[in-house]
Amino acid sequence: MKRAVLFGGAAVLGWILARHRRGAGHDTTSGAPVHQTGRAARNARMAGMGAKVGTSYAVHRARRAFAPEPRRAELDLEHQMHTAEQVAQTLGNMKGAMMKVGQMLSYLDEGLPEPLRDALAQLQQDAPPMSGELAAGVVERELGSPPQRLFAEWDPVPIAAASIGQVHRAITREGQAVAVKIQYPGVDEAITSDLNSAGMLFAGMRTMFPGLETGPVLDEIRSRLTEELDYRKEAESQRFFADAYDGHPFIHIPAVVDEYCTGRVFTSELADGVRFDEAEQWSQEERDLAAETIYRFAIGSMWRLHVFNGDPHPGNYLFRPGGRVTFLDFGLVKFLTPEEVYPLQRLIETIVIDPDPAAFRQTLEDVGFLHHDSALTDDEVVGYFRHFYQFALDEESGVLDEKYASLIARKLFQLDGAGSPGIQRSGNVPPAYVILQRINLGLYAVLGQLRAKAPWRAISEELWPWVDAPPATELGKQHAAWLAGRRAPAAD
């Protein structure tokens, strides 16, 4: 029953998107650019998907109602497989904003039927690429010469393709192996159009989340995604992280190759490593080390540098044994001020370290996560938020699995009764912390897929600067030695 309810919610989400968005271009699977003139085709594709999913679900419900019990399980599987194919193919081919919707849906994990979840998970690593000729044309327009002349070697077949661009392997005239990311032509106009039309969607969200101040949230999303479209901004962010982790024993950020960077072409050193699906098959020990590195990078960057990469998903990592991880894609990065970081510290202090429900609630109200006129009791507030801190509340080593990650997503989206109706009426997301919610979805979904076990509380206390606990693991000792040997960049 839970899966049926949750899937119905996903179908409703698809219907809302199809009804309220105005489209922005067409798919690029044939090598065509994403043009504003293709709005009708793009909108028709989304509307068609929403209609097909809704109709298919209604027919399935009717067939299931009159089927004997053994046949119902077969019908459920047939319906899930058919829907998985429809949704994954549509979102995967559209690229841009809707590709990102597919990636976000895959974070729901156990909340979606397994075939649909598996199909959407493919969007985390690959999307249908644009043609080699079109990619070469973008390089020539941006850098002044076709890639075959710019580079000693150029592979016209992309090694990765994602929501707004694809990556090609090349060798520079100096002999350096590089990864060249090329933005899909017209995807900037497509996403801008999507964002300009998103107000209607967010207005609809107010019916589900009356406490959410949608205007500031939309403004923050628009600002961050606009930055993501400018590869010069990504180069700046990646240089920052590369400098901050220069010489680190297990965290690697590829160096930016500025000579081949523009607003729509981004080039960095080509990194080695295996992709996420292969790392998932490693031993428990190796998966634990990989997960610990991802956690240390995400949480440690926020506390030490007051910055985090807001796009944690499996396609953005390359793995090597011993916990060594290369982090890719710094298009969606958020810097926090000390004034924005301190309330996060107070929340941890008052729910984890020295529990004080009244003080925890007061901090939520002061920063804007909870409206001051909320009728919820202090205990109800703590009861809702406690799960987001559960990994740190448990002092023993624990496993962050898919069940935990899925429950976070369900609580965040208030699906299937996982949260409190009072939170829907009085909860809010302040603009400064909108992108931080991707951590609640993406980071823990990644750790859950790795089925990672570690002393998360002890590791967290290492990373919390006001606690500054001694290293709890071998990776912690390596990090402490590296940090002691260099002057760490100070947060602004």
Question: How buried is residue 146: exposed, middle or buried, by Cβ count under 10 Å (0-12/13-18/19+)?
Answer: middle
Neighbours of 466 (CB within 10 A): 11
380, pLDDT greater than 70: yes
Average pLDDT over residues 157-175: 91
Q: How confident is the model at residue 486 (pLDDT cuts 50, 70, 90)?
A: confident
Average pLDDT over residues 252-281: 97
The answer to whether 23 and 46 are in contact (CB under 8 A) is: yes
33, pLDDT greater than 70: no
Q: How confident is the model at residue 69 (pLDDT cuts 50, 70, 90)?
A: confident
384, pLDDT greater than 60: yes
Inter-residue long-range contacts of 280-285, CB under 8 Å, 24+ positions, other chains counted: 280/449, 280/450, 282/319, 284/451, 284/453
Q: Give the per-residue pLDDT at 7.
A: 35
430, pLDDT greater than 80: yes
Biggest CA–CA distance in the chain, Å, is 70
34, pLDDT greater than 70: no
Catalytic residue among 27, 109, 188, 311: 311
Contact residues for 37 (Cβ-Cβ < 8 A; gap 6+): none
Q: What is the pLDDT of residues 231-241, one digit of tens each?
A: 999 999 999 99
Dihedral pair phi/psi, residue 174, rounded to 5°: -85, 0
Q: How confident is the model at residue 167 (pLDDT cuts 50, 70, 90)?
A: very high
Q: Give the per-residue pLDDT at 323.
A: 98
- Is residue 219 part of the annotated active site? The answer reads no
Q: What is the pLDDT of residues 200-231, one digit of tens each?
A: 555 655 555 666 666 777 777 778 778 888 99
348, pLDDT greater than 70: yes
Average pLDDT over residues 113-120: 54
The answer to whether 80 and 63 are in contact (CB under 8 A) is: no
Q: Give the per-residue pLDDT at 55.
A: 58
In the DSSP assignment, the letter for residue 442 is I
For the full predicted model, state whether its pTM sits above 0.75: yes
CA 479 to chain CA mean position, Å:
25
Q: In angstroms, rounded to a whole number, what is the distance separating the alpha carbons of residues 336 and 28? A: 36
321, pLDDT greater than 60: yes
Closest by Cα among 162, 190, 167, 24 to 102: 162
The whole-chain average pLDDT of the chain stands at 78
341, pLDDT greater than 90: yes
More confidently predicted of 373 and 260:
260
Dihedral pair phi/psi, residue 196, rounded to 5°: -65, -25
Q: Give the per-residue pLDDT at 225.
A: 78
Dihedral sign for Cα atoms in the order 102, 252, 405, 462: negative
More confidently predicted of 416 and 247:
247
Q: What is the pLDDT of residues 85-112, one digit of tens each?
A: 555 555 445 455 555 555 555 554 444 5
Q: In angstroms, rounded to a whole number, what is the distance separating the alpha carbons of residues 122 and 13? A: 20
Average pLDDT over residues 252-270: 98
Q: Which of 33-37, 202-206, 248-252, 402-406 has the lowest mean pLDDT?
A: 33-37
Q: Give the per-residue pLDDT at 106.
A: 52
Average pLDDT over residues 115-128: 53
% of residues, the chain, pLDDT over 90? 45
261, pLDDT greater than 90: yes
Q: In angstroms, rounded to a whole number, what is the distance separating the alpha carbons of residues 7 and 15? A: 12
What does the domain layout of the chain look like in residue ranges?
2-124, 274-492
Q: What is the pLDDT of residues 59-68, one digit of tens each?
A: 666 676 667 7
